[in-house]
């Protein structure tokens, strides 16, 4: 026996989802649908490093967060530098904006990004160690209209996917002026609770994070906790009221959730989350908020910003939960079946159809008509083009609708136009008209 046959197979790392055809087409459609909303609003694309200096996330995300304290993939490189696989996108975008002086030009700076992010946590349905996100950041304006634009952009993306079973929750987390007084009230309240040492340490670093505790015994004690939304100063209350009015005017449905606490420390004022109950425990499909002090914390100007991160993995799960299949119904528009001596001409035909924008594949290997048509049926293409030696002599190809079974000869010189028209009008279920030769 060959020794190689005894080698163990290598599997993908635990907690890293893979998307294979045909599901990958739906995943890609989710990404493209959400990204289209950003390009429609004038956001430019930014490609970020997959790893950054660890200090960026410690300072930018917050030392008290689970992301920094428990979940980061951190390593030391050969030069002795501490580097971390990016756990989120906002800090990296802010670092890039500062480094390349984008904040010195026209404001707000409006950027979008997409790709993998990494968190070392216990994998479960909808919670992965490599997660895929689409995000936007708008930096340089504290106008409530920008908050409404960002929130509505995400909502429009979910609606374009066909999702209906989600809700938008919003709140305000105040600012540097009104938070200190609220913090004192919250700290005083937490001191009277029966909390373990780890939770008390979390409360010492950032007491607001305790409100995010998911344990029933802690949630019960927090029933009467003071809420930030009840302690906003006049400016923050006015800002939040303006955001709500703009969302109402845009027809964006939402509920106010005063107990919302996002998992990152940099959020201020407007904060929001999209929740889909069809996903079970991991019901959050995306969210974000304003981060008024983040740029200065990372060494830049005192500029406000707002953004979001939408989980592509969870958006796809939400679509599946609602029985939706984003993207094209088939991976191909046309499948070409070459027979005998027509194989060379068929290859040229495939190239011509692809140049015309038609998703086209062809049969390979020496197959008879019966075997070739079985392959065509398995391809899922709604239109099949058969070309054999007699067709070549007549200057035609046979076009068959796999939906109706109708088949007509079409002159080779008119084939690309004919097929493009059929595909663009989705008329393959109607009787096909024979072309004049």
Does the pLDDT at position 261 exceed 80? no
- pLDDT digits 0-9 by tens, 340-360: 888 889 899 999 999 999 999
pLDDT band at 305 (very low <50, low <70, confident <90, very high): very high
In sequence order, what are the residues at sequence separation of 6 or more whose Cβ sits closer than 8 angstroms to the Cβ of residue 324? 161, 162, 163
User: CB–CB of 318/312 below 8 Å?
Assistant: no
| Cα–Cα distance measured from residue 377 to residue 11, given in angstroms and rounded to the nearest whole number | 32
pLDDT for position 61: 81
pLDDT at 429: 43
Q: How confident is the model at residue 365 (pLDDT cuts 50, 70, 90)?
A: confident
Query: Does residue 118 carry a pLDDT above 90?
Result: yes
Q: In this predicted structure, what is the pLDDT of residue 264?
A: 59
Tell me what pLDDT residue 2 has.
57
Q: Report the alpha-carbon distance of residue 234 to residue 49 in Å, rounded.
A: 40
CA–CA distance, 86 with 101 (Å, rounded to integer) = 22
Residue 146: per-residue pLDDT: 97
Question: Mean pLDDT across the stretch 378-407?
Answer: 91
Helical spans, DSSP H, in 8-126: 23-40, 54-61, 66, 90-99
Q: What is the predicted pLDDT for the residue at 64?
A: 65
Percent of all residues in the chain with a pLDDT value above 70, rounded to a whole number: 95
- Taking 50 as the threshold, does the pLDDT of residue 435 lie above it? no
DSSP character at residue 139: E
What's the chain's average pLDDT? 89
- 434 pLDDT above the threshold of 80: no
**Residue 4's pLDDT band (cuts 50, 70, 90):** low
**Predicted local confidence at residue 207, as pLDDT:** 82
pLDDT above 80: residue 212: no
If 0-12 CB within 10 Å is exposed, 13-18 middle and 19+ buried, where does residue 322 land?
A: middle
Give the SS3 label for residue 82.
strand
Can you give the pLDDT at residue 255? 96
Work out the end-to-end distance of the chain between its first and last CA atoms, rounded to an integer number of angstroms.
61
> pLDDT category, 121, cuts 50, 70, 90?
confident
Residue closest to 306 by CA, chosen among 208, 239, 209? 239
Q: At 431, is the pLDDT very low, low, confident or very high (cuts 50, 70, 90)? A: very low
Between these two residues, 176 and 97, which has the higher pLDDT value?
97
Residue 329 has pLDDT above 60, yes or no: yes
- 386: which residues sit within 8 A by CB, 6+ positions away? 337, 339, 369, 372, 373, 397, 398, 400, 407
| pLDDT above 70 (res 137) | yes
Q: Contact at 8 Å (CB) between 91 and 54?
A: no
User: CB under 8 Å to 76, separation ≥6 — which residues?
Assistant: 82, 83
Model pLDDT, residue 191 = 86
Point out the least confidently predicted range of 60-69, 84-93, 238-247.
Answer: 60-69
| Domains in the chain with CATH codes | 23-178+232-321 (3.30.930.10), 334-425 (3.40.50.800)
pLDDT, tens only, 368-380? 788 888 888 888 8
Residue 265: pLDDT above 70?
Answer: no
Percent of the chain residues topping a pLDDT of 90? 57
Looking at the predicted structure, is the pLDDT value of residue 260 above 60?
A: yes
What pLDDT score was predicted for residue 22?
87
Give CA–CA dist 142/238, Å, rounded. 12
> Is the pLDDT higher at 263 or at 234?
234
Q: Is the pLDDT of residue 430 over 60?
A: no
């Amino acid at each position: 026996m060959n020794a190689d046959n005894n080698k163990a197979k290598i599997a993908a790392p635990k907690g890293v989802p893979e998307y294979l055809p045909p599901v990958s087409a739906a995943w890609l459609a989710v990404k493209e649908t959400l990204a289209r909303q950003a390009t429609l609003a004038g956001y430019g694309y930014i490609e970020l490093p997959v790893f950054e200096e660890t200090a960026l996330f410690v300072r930018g995300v917050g030392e008290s967060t689970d992301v920094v304290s428990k979940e980061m993939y951190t390593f030391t490189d050969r030069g002795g530098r501490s580097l971390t696989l990016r756990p989120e996108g906002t800090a990296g975008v802010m670092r890039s904006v500062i480094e390349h002086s984008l904040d010195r030009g026209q404001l707000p700076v409006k950027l979008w990004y997409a790709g993998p992010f990494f968190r070392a946590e216990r994998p479960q349905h909808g919670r992965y160690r490599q997660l895929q996100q689409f995000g936007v950041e708008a930096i340089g304006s504290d106008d409530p209209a920008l908050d409404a634009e960002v929130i509505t952009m995400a909502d429009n993306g979910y609606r374009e996917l066909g999702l209906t079973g989600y809700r938008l929750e919003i709140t305000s987390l105040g600012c540097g002026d009104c938070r200190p007084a609220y913090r004192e009230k919250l700290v005083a309240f937490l001191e009277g609770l029966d909390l373990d040492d780890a939770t008390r340490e979390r409360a010492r670093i950032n007491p607001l994070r305790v409100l995010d505790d998911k344990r029933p015994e802690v949630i019960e004690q927090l029933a009467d906790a003071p809420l930030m939304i009840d302690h906003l100063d006049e400016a923050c209350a006015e800002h939040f009221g303006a955001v709500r009015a703009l969302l109402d005017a845009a027809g964006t449905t939402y509920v106010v959730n005063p107990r919302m606490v996002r998992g990152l420390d940099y959020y201020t004022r407007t904060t929001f989350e999209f929740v889909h109950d069809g996903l079970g425990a991991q019901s959050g499909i995306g969210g974000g908020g304003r981060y008024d002090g983040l740029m200065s914390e990372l060494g830049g100007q005192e500029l406000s910003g707002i953004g979001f991160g939408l989980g592509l993995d969870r958006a796809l799960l939400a679509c599946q939960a609602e029985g939706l299949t984003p993207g094209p119904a088939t991976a191909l528009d046309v499948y070409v079946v070459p027979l005998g001596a027509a194989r060379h001409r068929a290859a040229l035909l495939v190239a011509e159809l692809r140049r015309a924008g038609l998703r086209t594949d062809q049969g390979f290997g020496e197959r008879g008509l019966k075997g070739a048509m079985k392959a065509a049926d398995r391809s899922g293409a709604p239109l099949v083009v058969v070309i054999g030696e007699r067709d070549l002599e007549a200057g035609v190809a046979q076009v068959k609708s796999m939906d109706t079974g109708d088949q007509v000869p079409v002159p080779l010189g008119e084939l690309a136009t004919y097929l493009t028209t059929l595909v663009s009008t989705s008329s393959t279920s109607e009787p096909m008209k024979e072309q004049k030769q």
